[in-house]
């Protein structure tokens, strides 16, 4: 496991270095494109556009306080609001509004002294003064501060809602401040991949979360999620099911009015449309319900690599524990460096001694050298609020104990999901100021519309009417097309930006000419390059014998999924075993693909698994 940790650190460094190079090249390419446009424009307009471009390129400094939970800023706002001077109130208002603007219309403010994270996450009571952070306040001051903050936010058209309050020895509260998005294209989205073993309760948990009605213990909640007849008959998911949960300005989930019906036909038929949820929501949580059975591992792995999830929700049945494919899914999430959240389900029907064993097993695995995560049992709203902001950065693993029949634990999970940072806000992964790159993950042929693709904008922006290149085809070529229209969560939008998952209708493109793994890029003088061979640094996670030249395996790299062949390796013996590291040259078997240096890759064949990073395109 030590070699795996070292290797992951090295491939993260390679990825960071290559992305930095690509950013410089991308910025230069955008600059050349803008200068070309300026030359075509009239002299006066060209001069004006040049000034505008220069202004747009001026980097906006982001204060260090944006990188954390900004405790000092909360204390400053509290002090200014408690001051009797009107100018101090104006300063507090400006601070709050500036934070809302910088944080994409969402800000959590803490009032009063709060316990240190170490004590709160350990579930212990903070007793000493040095275990409390922030400025203490009285109950009257707490009431005044809540009223003042609410008034400031509502004046600007937003809403403030109390996430939790404590009025005992240390009066304190956390408020969620949220501004309404201007339109659906600007609604923050959090992408979550839901994984776990067969019969662990994935679909049932999602059904309760997104539909609101509790389960009857016999699968009532999951009926509305299944897409195929055989799924309804077997009760097992075989495809990547997409579900969304919307939260309004106050953080209340948007649920259908028929959520508590007992009629299975009504549950399947009378559900809210995505468009309705999207137009009402101030934040959207998108779930990928991935298959738990071993035969569908290819589908699950594709969902994890192509969907760019912000976190993986690992569902563990309380009566069965972390078994079978659950361990496989956990290992894949760790290999891809995706934060993990654990939900232990069926706590209402699991005997206490069995549940205790499951909890001990999950805790032991999370603390093991392979995971190196600190398990945090979320048993209060305060813990849910605090852990949602820091768990990805501090290698924490929030653990929720849920009952889909009684609803126990779902309030904590919904609060946690409501407060997760938006996926498109990850500037390391998604770059708005770079040339367009859109990965295709799904393809449909829609009557009266034509070919429609679904995918993620890895970089840049796109608007309806843009001329783009689609490819590569089987010969590595790209064809010209135009984006006719754009939809986000099935609601029409005019544009989209890096980090967003959108559907595009393409003009004059046959359905048969498009496949998963293709990309859309802006038209440029130099066409994009598709490659058939590439080099990668790899680590063999498991293989029962030896890997040799001409060995074939299925490669997963972003939205690309294709069989590759090993052409050569730099290992002295010319063979690779479990735990070996090497520089390997791969070749795509079927057709060239659009890949970039620095992209992480996973390859598998049966139980064989390898992890790596692309270092050179050949």
What are the structural domain ranges in the chain? 2-56, 66-178, 184-425, 437-522, 533-617
Rounded distance, CA 215 to CA 589, Å? 47
The reply to whether domains 184-425 and 533-617 share a CATH topology is: no
pLDDT, position 379: 93
Transcribe 210-241 into DSSP letters.
HH-PPP-SSSGGGGGG--SHHHHHH----S-E
What pTM was computed for the model? 0.87
Residue 59, number of CB atoms within 10 A of its CB: 6
Higher pLDDT, residue 523 or 295:
523
The better pLDDT of the pair 594, 239 is held by: 594
* Average pLDDT across the chain, whole number: 85
Q: Which residues contact 399 (CB under 8 A, 6 or more apart)?
A: 341, 342, 343, 344, 359, 362, 363, 366, 375, 376, 377, 378
CATH homologous superfamily of 184-425: P-loop containing nucleotide triphosphate hydrolases (3.40.50.300)
Instruction: Say what the pLDDT of residue 46 is.
Output: 46
What confidence tens digit (pLDDT) does each residue in 185-235 have? Answer: 889 999 999 998 888 888 889 888 888 778 777 666 666 665 544 454 444
User: 331 to each of 2, 288, 312, 359, how far by Cα in Å?
Assistant: 15, 18, 11, 19
Residue 175 predicted with pLDDT over 90: yes
Residue 80: enclosing H or E segment and its boundaries? helix 71-82
For the segment 57-74, the average pLDDT, to the nearest whole number, is: 50
pLDDT at 556: 93
Q: Residue 240: which of 305, 285, 284 has the closest Cα? A: 305
Average pLDDT over residues 149-160: 93
Q: What is the pLDDT of residue 71?
A: 66
Residue matched to tokens 């922006």: 461
pLDDT score of 96 more than 90: yes
- Ranges 154-158, 301-305, 318-322, 408-412: which has the least confidence: 301-305
How confident is residue 266, by pLDDT bands cut at 50, 70 and 90? low
Instruction: Provide the b/e sequence for 12-24 (b: ≥16 CB within 10 Å).
Output: eebbeebbeebee
Q: Do the bridges between strand 374-377 and strand 495-497 make them parallel or antiparallel, or are there none, so unpaired?
A: unpaired
Mean pLDDT, residues 277-301: 82
As a whole number of Å, the CA-based R_g of the chain is 25
Instruction: Give the pLDDT score at 523.
Output: 87
Q: Given this model, what pLDDT does residue 260 score?
A: 59
pLDDT of residue 122: 83
Domain 437-522, CATH class in plain words: mainly beta
3-class secondary structure for 294-311?
HHHHHHHHHHHHHCCCCE
Q: How confident is the model at residue 443, as a pLDDT?
A: 95
| pLDDT at 13 > cutoff 90 | no
**Contact (CB, 8 A) for 434 and 30:** yes
Determine the average pLDDT of the residues in 569-590: 91
Residue 2: band (very low, low, confident or very high) from pLDDT cuts 50, 70, 90: very low
Give pLDDT, residue 223.
64
pLDDT of residue 110: 92
Model pLDDT for residues 19-64, shown as the tens digit of each residue = 888 888 887 777 777 777 677 665 545 444 444 444 444 333 333 3
Question: Which pLDDT value is given to residue 272?
Answer: 80
pLDDT band at 304 (very low <50, low <70, confident <90, very high): confident
Predicted pLDDT at 608: 83
The confidence score (pLDDT) of residue 61 equals 37
CATH architecture of the region 533-617: Beta Barrel (2.40)
Kind of pairing between the strands at 114-115 and 106-111: unpaired
Asked if 89 contacts 80 with a C-beta cutoff of 8 angstroms, the reply is yes
pLDDT at residue number 349: 92
Mean per-residue pLDDT, 83-98: 91
Distance, CA of 334 to CA of 531 (rounded, Å): 28
Question: Could you tell me what percent of the chain has a pLDDT over 90?
Answer: 51
Task: Report percent pLDDT > 70 for the chain.
Answer: 86
């Amino acid at each position: 496991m030590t070699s795996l940790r070292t290797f992951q650190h090295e491939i993260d460094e390679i990825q960071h270095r290559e992305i930095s190079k690509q950013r410089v090249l991308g910025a230069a390419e955008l600059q050349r494109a803008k200068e070309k446009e300026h030359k075509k424009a009239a002299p006066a307009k060209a001069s004006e556009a040049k000034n505008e471009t220069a202004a747009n390129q001026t980097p906006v400094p982001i204060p260090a306080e944006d990188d954390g939970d900004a405790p000092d800023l909360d204390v400053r706002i509290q002090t200014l609001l408690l001051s009797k001077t009107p100018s101090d109130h104006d300063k507090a208002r400006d601070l709050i509004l500036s934070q809302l603007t910088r944080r994409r219309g969402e800000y959590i403010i803490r009032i009063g002294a709060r316990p240190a994270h170490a004590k709160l996450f350990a579930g212990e009571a903070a007793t000493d003064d040095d275990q409390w952070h922030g400025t203490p306040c009285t109950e009257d001051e707490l009431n005044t501060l809540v009223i003042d903050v609410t008034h400031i936010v509502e004046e600007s058209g937003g809403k403030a809602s109390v996430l939790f309050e404590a009025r005992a020895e240390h009066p304190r509260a956390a408020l969620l401040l949220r501004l309404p998005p201007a339109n659906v294209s600007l609604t923050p989205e959090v992408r979550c991949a839901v994984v776990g073993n067969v019969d662990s309760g994935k679909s049932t948990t999602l059904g309760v979360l997104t539909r609101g009605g509790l389960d009857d213990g016999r699968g009532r909640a999951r009926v509305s999620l299944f897409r195929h007849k055989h799924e309804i008959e077997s009760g097992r998911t075989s495809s990547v099911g997409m579900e969304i949960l919307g939260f309004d300005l106050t953080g209340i989930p948007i649920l259908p009015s028929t959520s508590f019906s007992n009629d299975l036909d009504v549950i399947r038929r009378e559900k809210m449309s995505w468009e309705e949820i999207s137009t009402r929501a101030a934040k959207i949580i998108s779930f990928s319900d991935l298959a738990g059975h071993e035969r569908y591992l290819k589908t699950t792995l594709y969902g994890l690599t192509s969907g760019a999830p912000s976190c993986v929700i690992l569902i563990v049945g309380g009566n069965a524990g972390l078994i079978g494919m659950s361990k496989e899914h956990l290992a894949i999430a760790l290999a891809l460096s995706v934060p993990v959240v654990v939900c232990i389900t069926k706590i209402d029907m699991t005997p206490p001694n069995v549940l205790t064993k499951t909890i001990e097993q999950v805790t032991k695995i999370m603390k093991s050298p392979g995971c190196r995560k600190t398990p945090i049992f979320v048993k209060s709203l305060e813990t849910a609020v605090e852990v949602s902001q820091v768990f990805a950065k501090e290698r924490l693993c929030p653990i929720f104990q849920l009952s889909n029949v009684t609803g126990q634990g779902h309030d904590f999970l919904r609060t946690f999901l409501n407060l997760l940072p938006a996926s498109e806000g990850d500037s390391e992964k998604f770059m708005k100021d770079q040339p367009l790159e859109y990965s295709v993950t799904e393809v449909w042929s829609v009557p009266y519309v034509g070919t429609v693709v679904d995918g993620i904008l890895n970089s840049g922006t796109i608007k309806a009417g843009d001329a783009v290149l689609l490819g590569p085809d089987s010969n590595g070529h790209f064809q010209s097309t135009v984006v006719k229209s754009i939809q986000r969560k099935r609601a029409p939008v005019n544009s989209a930006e890096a980090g967003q998952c959108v559907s595009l209708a393409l003009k004059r493109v046959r359905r048969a000419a498009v496949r998963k793994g293709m990309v859309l890029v802006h038209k440029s003088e130099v066409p994009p390059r598709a490659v058939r061979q590439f080099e990668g640094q790899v680590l063999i996670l498991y293989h029962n014998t030896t890997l040799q030249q001409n060995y074939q395996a299925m490669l997963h790299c972003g939205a690309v999924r294709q069989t590759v062949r090993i052409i050569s390796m730099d290992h002295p013996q010319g063979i690779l075993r479990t735990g070996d590291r090497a520089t390997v040259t791969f070749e795509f078997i079927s057709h060239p693909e659009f890949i970039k240096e620095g992209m992480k890759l996973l390859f598998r064949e049966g139980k064989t698994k390898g992890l790596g990073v692309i270092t050179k395109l050949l």
